[in-house]
Structures are given as C-alpha cells and as structure tokens.
C-alpha cells in the first residue's frame, strides 16, 4: 500500500500569494510528486482555484496546513485516489452528473 | 480466472470520516490495488460519492462491511468487471443512455 | 480463426443474484477472458444491464444458458466481433445513429 | 499492394441466422482477419446491422455471396480501405457531414 | 523531402464502378501506400465520396487521371500534407469552422 | 534552442496555383519538416486555407515570401510554437473561446 | 523538486512585435524547454494571446519581464504546474466550469 496518491481540492484564495508560490510551497513537501493549480474564477479580491496533487502517502492535514498558511481556504475535497496505482473515475450510465 | 477486478459503487455518506480516510481503509484490504473516490454532490450533512475499486478477487461483502463501518450506505453497484483482464463497457448504437 | 471474440448483450434481470455473482459465473467459462457488466437502468424489482464478454471461441448458447440460470433474460445481441483480432465498429458518415 | 483491407457494409437481415453465426461464416474466409457486426436498429422481423471486415485482399463478391447465403441484403458499401496499410478517413472543415 | 504525402479529395461518381474497384485502381499507383474511400451521400445515380490517399511523392495529375478514367469528377482538394512527415491540421481558437 | 518549430497561418489565395503546389514549394525550404494545408472555405475565385508548418528554426519572413510568390496573402499568424520541443496549447477554464 | 514546470498566461499585446519574435525571446531563457503562443482574439491595434511555457525552475518574474519588454501585459496566470513531473488538471463532477 502506498497511501493517498492523488487529492483534488477546491480552494478560495486571495490573489497574493500567487499560484506559482503556492505550487512551489506544496511541492516542497517530500511526499509530493507534482502539483497542478488551475484558476477557474477570478474576482476582485479573490480567485477560485482547483488544486490537483499527486504523490505517495499524501497527508491531507499537512497539505491543508500549507494551503492555510498561504491564506487559502479549502471548500471541498473533490476526488481522492489511493493504493499501489492511481485509479481513474470510471464513467457509467448511472452517473447523475 | 482472477475473480472480480473492478467494482463501481454509488455511496451516500456523512462528511466525516473524510473520503481520504475511507480510501485508505479500503486500500488496506489485501485484494485492493487502488481506489478512486469522486464526490458528485455535497449536501448539508451528507455527500454522494462514486467509488471505483480495482484489484484481484475483490470481495463485495468485505468491501460493503468496510464502507458501512465508515458510516457509508451503498445505493447501487453500477459496474463490475471480472476475469483475467479488465474489459471496458463497449458503446453500441443500441445503448439507451 | 479464433471464433467469436466479443459479444455485447442487453439483459433484464432481477436485483438478485447480484451482478458480481453473474460476472463470476460467466468468467468461470474457460473460453472467457473477461466480463464487464454495466447497469443502465434500475427499477423496483429488476435492472437493465449491458454485458460485454471477451474471449476466444465464445459460445453464445453456453453464455445464454449461464445468464438464464441466473434469472437473466437476453433482450438482444448488440455487437459481435470474431476472427484473429477484435475489430472495432468504424464510424462512417452513413451511420444513421 | 495488399488489395482491399477494410470494407464497411450496411445490411438488412432477418433475426435468424444470428449475427454470431454470420460473423463466424465471414471469418471462415481465408482473407478475413476479423469481423465486427453492430446492430443499429431492430424491427419485428428484421434488423439493420453494420458490418466492418478487415483483412488482406478482401473480395467483395465473395463477401456478398456469404451475406446473401445467410439471407442478408447489402444496402450500401459505406467505406473501403486499400493498400499496404489501412488509411483512416481524415476529418476536414469541408466535410458536409 | 518526400513530396506530397496525403491528398484528401471530394468526388462525385456514378455507383459503378464500385468504390472497391476505385480503391484498388488508386492503390496500383506505385507512390500510393493506402487509400480510404468514404461515402457521405448516396443519390439515385451518383454518390459523393471523400478519398484520402497517403504515400510518398503523390502526383495529383496522375491521381486525377485515374479517378476520371473511373468516371469520377473531382469537386475539390480539401487537404494536402507534404514533407518528411505527415503534419496534422492543428486546431486553433481562430478557426472559423 | 531550436527556434520556431511550428507556425499556423490563415491565408487567402486564388485557386491557382493549387495547394499541392504551394505545399511542395514550402517543403522545399530546408528548415521545413512538413506542411499541412487545409481548405476551410471555397469562393468563386479564391479559397481560405489554414497552413500548419513544422520544422526547426522556421523563418517567418522566408515563409511569407514563398506564400506571396504563390499569390497568397497572410491574414494572420494563429499559433506559434518554439523551443527544444513542440508545446501544445493547454485548455484551461479561463479560455474565452 | 524541479520547481515550476508549466505556466499558462493570458496576455494582451500590440500586433508588433509578432508572436514569432515573442516566442523566440521566451525560448532564449535557459529554463524554458518550449513555448506555445495561441492567438484567440484579434482587434484593430491589439491581440489577446494565450502563452503556455514549459521547462524546469521557470521564474515568473523573469518571464514577466520578457513579456513586458515586448510590450505585452499579463492579464492573468491561468494554470501552473510544479514538481518532479507535470500533473494535468483532473476533471471532476464538482467542476463549476
């Protein structure tokens, strides 16, 4: 078992610090392989971003601490993958979305 | 024959325990290679999630027990794959979805 | 020649036995490499499922027998692939679907 | 040169013989590598199916004979590929479909 | 430099000779690697087909001659690729189609 | 550094010289690996085409000269890629197209 | 850790200098592997372009300086990837875009 391999988070943050700084800070965690931060809404003082983090044995509490130390607020955890390999969400006809 | 290789489940669960904890618990089963948990609806007290589990000789009853021990309720089994290799659902013109 | 390599079936079945059990039963046939069962409609007493079976020299009559022994009814055969390799359905501008 | 490599046919046929039998019959031709038969419309006595045949030096007249011997009627040849390798239809902005 | 590598043509032709015969004729040109002929409209006496030809040093005039000798009329050249490797059309936000 | 690797151009040109000739002329430039010319609008006397050119150290001025010598007019440069490898345009939720 | 691996920027710029020149200038930075510049809106005096830059240890401030020295204005940073490997944005049912 390799613990949590991917976490997708919905975040609200002020424009500063920039997403480049937030990405670097998250990557400095030793369990993190890579981070993608995508901006999906920009307001006057804040921006909504989606953060995808991949790695091995990711620790949600540590990640949360880093994000909050950069003035970000976690709105929701939207996806998690765990295990020996990353499993993708499989589309089925029963999906209500 | 390698038994059940993939199970896709529709689950209703309270916000706590988190999906990170549920994913780790399911991955601790020795037959499980990986787990993906995707949130598709968030309500005040509950969330609807889709769980995709892949592995070898997956046991539905054991999985069900783990989910229920974490306060989750299985609404439906939406897809199952079994055999020497994982077969994907093939789209056909007769699909009513 | 390797006979029938894939059969896609539209099935109506009661909720019990579960699709996990039906998948395991179909995989116990020696010609079967893998089975995918996808639920596309759930009613009070029954569910409509699509079954994709891949293997070598698949025997329709044997498969039909297994499905009926599990209380399933075959509504239609929606796709068949046969031969040395599995050929996919090619989309053309003449497709009326 | 390796002659005709793929033929896509639009066929009207009675429900019997089944598409599993038609696929096996077409695969028994030595030039045929594989056959895919997809049902796109089911009526009371007949069904409309699309047949994709791949191989080397496929002979249209021989294929037509096999289909007619199984009570099928060819409505149209929808696509043909020929040559040393199978070339796919390239989408262009001029496509009127 | 390897000259013209792909030509896509819009053709109007009578039903006879068949597209299988036209494909074979085009493949008999030594510069041609493969041909795909897709029917996109069928009328009483004629059919509109799209022909994709791939090869090395393709000669438009020779191809035109073959098509006309089979009673086909070239309506337009819709795409051409040339060079050491086949370059695909890149989608951009400026595309007016 | 390998300079400009891809240029996508929007061109207006008369029907003659043909796009086969324009493609060959562009491929005769030693920096050019391959050219794709796609016609997206045909008028009485002119046609609008999109030209995708890939290579190493592509020179815009030289390419422009070739196109103008073949009676083409460059309406716009729609995409450029440069560097050690070709980077594709990444889709983001902020895309206004 | 390999720092910032991808930056996607929304830029407003005058028509001159051309995007070919801007791409070359950005590629001259030693941390940059490749640059893609895509034009998504053309106005009388200005154009809106999306710039995707990939490399290792990309420095936002240096990139900003280059863009501004070419008369470009950065409207927003739309995506950032950082770490040992480039992680793509994962689609989830919670995406509000």
Residue D35 belongs to some domain of the structure: yes
Asked whether the beta carbons of residue G93 and residue B38 sit closer than 8 angstroms, the reply is yes
The set of chains that have 3 or more CB pairs under 8 A with G is A, B, E, F
Residue A88 belongs to some domain of the structure: no
Do chain E and F touch: 3 or more Cβ pairs under 8 angstroms? yes
The yes/no answer to whether this complex scores an ipTM above 0.90 is yes
Nearest to G21 by CA among F3, F45, C74: F3
Asked whether the beta carbons of residue A92 and residue C42 sit closer than 8 angstroms, the reply is no
From C33, C42, C95, residue closest to B83, measured CB to CB: C33
How would you write the pLDDT of chain C (97 residues) with one tens digit per residue? 589 999 999 999 999 999 999 999 999 999 999 999 999 999 999 999 999 999 999 999 999 999 999 999 999 999 999 999 999 999 999 887 7
**Chain C interface residues (partner A, CB cutoff 8 A):** 38-42
**Chain D interface residues (partner B, CB cutoff 8 A):** 38-42
pLDDT tens-digit map of E43-94: 999 999 999 999 999 999 999 999 999 999 999 999 999 999 999 999 999 8
Find the helix packing angle between B19-27 and B60-69, rounded to 10°: 150
Asked whether the beta carbons of residue G87 and residue A34 sit closer than 8 angstroms, the reply is yes
Do chain C and G touch: 3 or more Cβ pairs under 8 angstroms? no
Q: G8 near G51, Cβ under 8 Å?
A: yes
Residue A94: list chain C partners with CB under 8 A. 39-40, 42
Chain B interface disruption, residue of G90, G93, G95, G96, most B CBs within 10 A: G93
Between the CA of residue B9 and those of A25, A86, B72, what are the distances in Å?
35, 17, 11
Tell me which chain D residue has its CA closest to the CA of residue F50: D93
CATH value at residue D62? 3.30.70.1340
The set of chains that have 3 or more CB pairs under 8 A with A is B, C, F, G
Sign of CA dihedral F28, F32, F36, F39: negative
pLDDT tens-digit map of B30-83: 999 999 999 999 999 999 999 999 999 999 999 999 999 999 999 999 999 999
Asked whether the beta carbons of residue D80 and residue E41 sit closer than 8 angstroms, the reply is no
Question: How close, in Å, is residue C88 to chain D by CA atoms?
Answer: 6
DSSP state of D60: H
Is the pLDDT at F97 greater than 80? The verdict is: no
pLDDT tens-digit map of D30-64: 999 999 999 999 999 999 999 999 999 999 999 99
Chain E interface disruption, residue of D8, D82, D92, most E CBs within 10 A: D82
Tokens representing B17 are 């325990």
**Chain B interface residues (partner D, CB cutoff 8 A):** 92-94
Residue E34: list chain D partners with CB under 8 A. 5, 81-87
Residue C78: list chain D partners with CB under 8 A. 38-39
Residue E96: list chain G partners with CB under 8 A. none
Asked whether the beta carbons of residue E36 and residue D87 sit closer than 8 angstroms, the reply is yes
Mean pLDDT of G47-59: 97
Asked whether the beta carbons of residue E52 and residue D5 sit closer than 8 angstroms, the reply is no
Residue D42: list chain B partners with CB under 8 A. 94
Tell me which chain G residue has its CA closest to the CA of residue A8: G90
Is the pLDDT at G1 greater than 70? The verdict is: no
B37: which residues sit within 8 A by CB, 6+ positions away? A79, A80, A81, B19, B22, B23, B49, B50, B51
Tell me which chain B residue has its CA closest to the CA of residue A83: B34
pLDDT tens-digit map of A24-41: 999 999 999 999 999 999
Residue D97 belongs to some domain of the structure: no
Residue D90 belongs to some domain of the structure: no
B75: which residues sit within 8 A by CB, 6+ positions away? B9, B10, B11, B12, B48
Tell me which chain F residue has its CA closest to the CA of residue E85: F34
From C10, C27, C40, residue closest to B83, measured CB to CB: C27
pLDDT at C80: 98
Residue C10 belongs to some domain of the structure: yes
Q: F29 near F63, Cβ under 8 Å?
A: yes
Tokens representing G89 are 């944005």
Question: How close, in Å, is residue E20 to chain G by CA atoms?
Answer: 42
pLDDT at F81: 98
Domain hosting C28: range is: 4-82
Asked whether the beta carbons of residue C1 and residue D27 sit closer than 8 angstroms, the reply is yes
pLDDT at D2: 82
From F36, F39, F42, residue closest to E87, measured CB to CB: F36
Residue F88 belongs to some domain of the structure: no
Residue G60 belongs to some domain of the structure: yes
Mean pLDDT of F73-89: 96
Residues forming a β-bridge with B38: A79, B50
Is the pLDDT at A4 greater than 90? The verdict is: yes
pLDDT at F96: 78
Asked whether the beta carbons of residue A87 and residue B53 sit closer than 8 angstroms, the reply is yes
Confidence of residue F39 (pLDDT cuts 50, 70, 90): very high
Confidence of residue G24 (pLDDT cuts 50, 70, 90): very high
d(CA A65, CA F28): 59
Confidence of residue F1 (pLDDT cuts 50, 70, 90): low
Do chain B and E touch: 3 or more Cβ pairs under 8 angstroms? no
pLDDT tens-digit map of F60-70: 999 999 999 99
Residue B95: list chain C partners with CB under 8 A. 40, 50, 78
From G7, G85, G94, residue closest to A33, measured CB to CB: G85
Confidence of residue D1 (pLDDT cuts 50, 70, 90): low
Tokens representing E45 are 């006496």
φ and ψ at G67, to 5 degrees?
A: -65, -45
Tokens representing G45 are 């005096």
pLDDT tens-digit map of D87-96: 999 999 988 7
Residue D50: list chain C partners with CB under 8 A. 89, 92, 95
Residues forming a β-bridge with B60: none
Asked whether the beta carbons of residue F92 and residue A42 sit closer than 8 angstroms, the reply is no
Q: G12: number of CA atoms within 13 Å, CB side?
A: 7
d(CA C56, CA C52): 13
pLDDT at E97: 76
The set of chains that have 3 or more CB pairs under 8 A with F is A, D, E, G
pLDDT at A1: 59
Do chain C and B touch: 3 or more Cβ pairs under 8 angstroms? yes
Number of independent structural domains in chain E: 1
**Chain E interface residues (partner G, CB cutoff 8 A):** 92-94
Find the helix packing angle between F60-69 and F19-27, rounded to 10°: 150
Question: How close, in Å, is residue A63 to chain G by CA atoms?
Answer: 15
Residue B94: list chain D partners with CB under 8 A. 39-40, 42
d(CA B67, CA B70): 5
From C1, C60, C81, residue closest to D36, measured CB to CB: C81
d(CA B51, CA A88): 10
Residue A89 belongs to some domain of the structure: no
pLDDT at C1: 59
Tokens 């039903």 sit at which residue?
E15
pLDDT tens-digit map of D12-21: 999 999 999 9
pLDDT at D97: 76
Mean pLDDT of A50-60: 98
């Amino acid at each position: 078992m390799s613990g949590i391999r991917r976490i997708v988070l919905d975040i609200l943050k002020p424009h500063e610090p920039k997403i480049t700084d937030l990405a670097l800070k998250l990557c400095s965690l030793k369990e993190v392989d890579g981070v993608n931060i995508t901006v999906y809404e920009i307001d006057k003082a804040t921006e909504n971003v989606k953060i995808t983090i991949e790695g091995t044995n990711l620790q949600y509490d540590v990640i949360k601490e880093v994000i909050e130390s950069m003035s970000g607020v976690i709105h929701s955890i939207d996806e998690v993958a765990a295990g020996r390999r990353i499993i993708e969400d499989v589309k089925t006809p029963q999906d209500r979305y």
